[in-house]
């Protein structure tokens, strides 16, 4: 369950989207943003971005629930969404990646592997033969989960018993013992797991090194502080950037207005769960890797910073 502060904040953000802000805003068609699932980083950020756009009167941004990065990309490509949030590795590795357009590199997600505190599992190899939730269907976390398992020699179909669950269901399953471990990508602490009982995060230092060797610098080591979810030491885990994407057909002025929000109101766009690396500055926003900037975004960054 989301804590009360996050729930009220999310409700306020989505209420703001429906409020008439500025001249003629009620007549604007909504800009649909493929987001994620409640209790996750993508959903919280999307609500805050929608609220900021509503306050500025520049666009009616409407977040859409989804399973995560992979589904968001499908929604974007099919035209059922105008904007989408995606893990950068999912976007870069997807079919038709060359046709994607970025508004900016907005945040870093933390890939996390949690077990119950009373388990004897202390490292990735200890997951052999166990039941592991590898992310929701349609999430980028599922692909990254498979890559992380492979670094520990657990890529075979029978190496672990895989299940796919949304975050809240996975947290409940971990708490009641129906799964032995949960893998997901989100902020720290991810609200969906804040009430999952006494859990412990596995250190992924070796996995980060193996991922970087095979896939490059899309992945980087990030630190999770001690006791973020109860009683556990500080650990190193896998960091992967989030990209805010737009269909090429989205009006340049709308995209430029979103860039202005990212540059001018960054403190209002930080979810409660976001700690550690936070991009949201001019230099890092444009570092979108092989995914090129939307023309409206590129022009606005040049206008603002040369």
Q: Judge if 31-106+242-305 and 110-240 fold alike in CATH terms.
A: yes
pLDDT tens, position by position, 264-285: 988 889 887 666 556 777 788 9
Average pLDDT over residues 225-244: 91
The class level of CATH for 110-240 reads alpha beta
pLDDT more than 70, % of the chain: 89
The class level of CATH for 31-106+242-305 reads alpha beta
| The pLDDT of residue 305 | 85
Q: Which of 124-128, 172-176, 197-201, 262-266 has the highest mean pLDDT?
A: 124-128
Phi, psi of 127 (to 5 degrees): -80, -5
Closest by Cα among 42, 215, 236, 179 to 50: 42
| The pLDDT of residue 12 | 46
The whole-chain average pLDDT of the chain stands at: 88
| The pLDDT of residue 228 | 86
User: How wide is the angle at C-alpha 24 spanned by C-alphas 22 and 28, nearest 5°?
Assistant: 110
| The pLDDT of residue 7 | 41
pLDDT tens, position by position, 106-129: 988 899 999 999 999 999 999 999
User: Tokens 């604007």 appear where?
Assistant: 28
Give the domain ranges of the chain.
31-106+242-305, 110-240
3-state secondary structure the chain: CCCHHHHHHHHHHHHHHCCCCCCCHHHCCCEEEEEECCCCHHHHHHHHHHHHHHHHCCCCEEEEECCCHHHHHHHHHHCCCCEEEEEHHHHHHCCCHHHCEEEEEEEEEEEEEEEECCCCCCCHHHHCCCEEECCCCCCHHHHHHHHHHHHCCCCCCCCCEEECCCHHHHHHHHHHCCCCEEEEEECCCCHHHCCCCCEEECCCHHHHHHHHHHHCCCEEEEEECCCCCCCCCCEEEEEEEEEEEECCCCCHHHHHHHHHHHHHCHHHHCCCCCCCCECCCHHHHCCCCCCCECHHHHHHHHHHHC
| The pLDDT of residue 275 | 61
């Amino acid at each position: 369950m989301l804590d009360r502060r996050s729930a009220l904040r999310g409700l306020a953000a989505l209420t703001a989207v429906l409020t008439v802000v500025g001249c003629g805003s009620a007549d604007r068609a909504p800009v649909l943003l493929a987001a994620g699932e409640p209790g996750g980083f993508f959903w919280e950020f999307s609500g805050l971005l929608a609220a900021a756009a509503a306050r500025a009167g520049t666009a009616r941004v409407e977040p859409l629930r989804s399973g995560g990065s992979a589904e968001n990309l499908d929604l974007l490509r099919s035209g059922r969404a105008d904007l989408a949030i995606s893990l950068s590795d999912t976007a870069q590795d997807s079919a038709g990646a060359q046709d994607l357009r970025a508004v900016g590199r907005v945040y870093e997600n933390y890939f996390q592997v949690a077990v119950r505190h009373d388990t004897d599992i202390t490292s990735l190899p200890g997951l052999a033969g166990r039941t592991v939730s590898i992310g929701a269907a349609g999430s980028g976390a599922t692909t990254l989960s498979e890559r992380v398992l492979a670094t520990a020699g657990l890529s075979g179909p029978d190496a672990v018993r895989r299940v796919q669950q949304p975050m809240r269901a996975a947290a409940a399953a971990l708490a009641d013992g129906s799964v032995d471990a949960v893998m997901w990508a989100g902020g720290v602490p991810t609200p969906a797991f804040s009430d999952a009982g006494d859990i412990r995060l596995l250190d992924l230092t070796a996995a980060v090194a193996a991922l970087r060797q095979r896939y490059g610098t899309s992945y980087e080591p990030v630190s999770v502080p001690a006791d973020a979810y109860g009683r556990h030491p500080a650990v190193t885990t896998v960091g992967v950037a989030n990209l805010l994407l737009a269909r090429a057909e989205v009006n340049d002025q709308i995209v430029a207005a979103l860039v202005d929000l990212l540059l001018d109101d960054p403190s209002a766009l930080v979810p409660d769960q976001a700690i550690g690396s936070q991009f949201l500055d001019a230099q890092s926003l444009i570092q979108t890797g092989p995914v090129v900037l939307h023309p409206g975004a590129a022009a606005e960054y040049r206008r603002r910073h040369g």
